[in-house]
Amino acid sequence: MAKIHKLFKTSATYHLLKLLRYQVEDFFTNLGEISKMSVQTLFFLSKGKIDFKELIYQCYRFGVTSLPITLSIVGMTSIIVATQVASEMVKQGGENFVGMMITMLIIREAGIIMAGFAIISMIGSSLASEIATMKVTEQIDAIRVLKVNPIQYLFVPRVLSGMLMMPIIWILASLIGVIAGGFASNLASGLSYRAYFDSVWYGIYIYDIKVNLLKAVVYGFVISLISCTFGYNANGGAKGVGTSTTKAVVWTFVSIVILDMVFAISFFF
């Protein structure tokens, strides 16, 4: 029996099961850490314990510095979709619905999801690597020595800035996406700007705007919280900083896709 057990430990099946167990344990550990940090962050937010000077800086960082890449990605996404779709719709006699379709796509899904991806790539990774560097260089320990709660000091202004700035980013990105779709439709199919923008209003609903403002707030919270959490739990020097940053990006990407599905089923199904 001992020989069989020893032989099994050298097999590919054993190593595969061991890897699977590690991945499952790591998943639930990370999920638990994110949940714990979210509770603590919300606690300090509810108490109003906010460093407003740091909050303003983080809002600038989250909102202003990310705008060029965010608007570029959403605008190019709109151009790609309009280029592919507008000419076919004009051929089929649907020129009066091109603007409506592009607007609904941008406002309901593409604007917020592509803006989220851009924010994760630029701001989320930056937050994770910054806090991870502070952790491995023992700066967070120094904050504790000064009797300052690191969650209140590091998490609260970053998470709150994400919740405040993400809706503004979504509004600007959606506006750029709709306008870019009009130019692309005109170039791709000869559709007049008047025909496009007249039909835009048929794709704008107050309900969609309310849902996506809520979605933007949730996305801002999740992106900031997950990025900060993985940075906060980093260890192992420079390698640990890289690992935590990678995990933060992967988890936030997957999280907002899952949340997008939840919102779609909850509000549009």
Residue by residue, DSSP assigns 197-262 as HHHHGGG--HHHHHHHHHHHHHHHHHHHHHHHHHHHT--SHHHHHHHHHHHHHHHHHHHHHHHHHH
Domain contains 130:
yes
Asked whether the beta carbons of 30 and 225 are under 8 A apart, the reply is no
CA 38 centroid distance within chain: 16
Report yes or no on 44 lying in a domain.
Answer: no
Residue 15 lies in a domain: no
What is the pLDDT at residue 6? Answer: 63
Distance, CA of 40 to CA of 38 (rounded, Å):
6
Instruction: Evaluate whether 224 touches 137 at the Cβ level (below 8 Å).
Output: no
Q: Give Cβ neighbours of residue 245 (< 8 Å, ≥ 6 apart).
A: 125, 128, 129, 132, 230, 231
d(CA 161, CA 169): 12
- By the 10 Å C-beta count (0-12 exposed, 13-18 middle, 19+ buried), 195 is classed as middle
Q: How far apart are CA 238 and CA 247, in angstroms?
A: 14
pLDDT at 5: 60
pLDDT at 73: 92
CB 120 within 8 A of CB 245: no
Domain that holds residue 139: 50-268
Residue 230 lies in a domain: yes
Name residues of the chain where pLDDT drops below 70: 1-15, 18
pTM: 0.89
Residue 2 has a pLDDT of 62
- Which residue has tokens 């952790």? 135
Are 240 and 132 contacting, i.e. CB atoms less than 8 angstroms apart?
Answer: yes
Q: How many domains does the chain fold into?
A: 1
What pLDDT does residue 3 have?
63
* Contact status, residue 116 vs residue 216, Cβ threshold 8 Å: no
Q: Are 119 and 166 in contact (CB under 8 A)?
A: yes
Is 17 domain-assigned?
no
- Type of residue at 201: W
Q: Is residue 245 part of a domain?
A: yes
Let me know if residue 41 belongs to a domain: no
Q: For residue 37, tell me if it sits in a domain.
A: no
Sequence-separated (6 or more) residues with CB below 8 Å from residue 64: none
Residue written as tokens 């994400």? Answer: 162
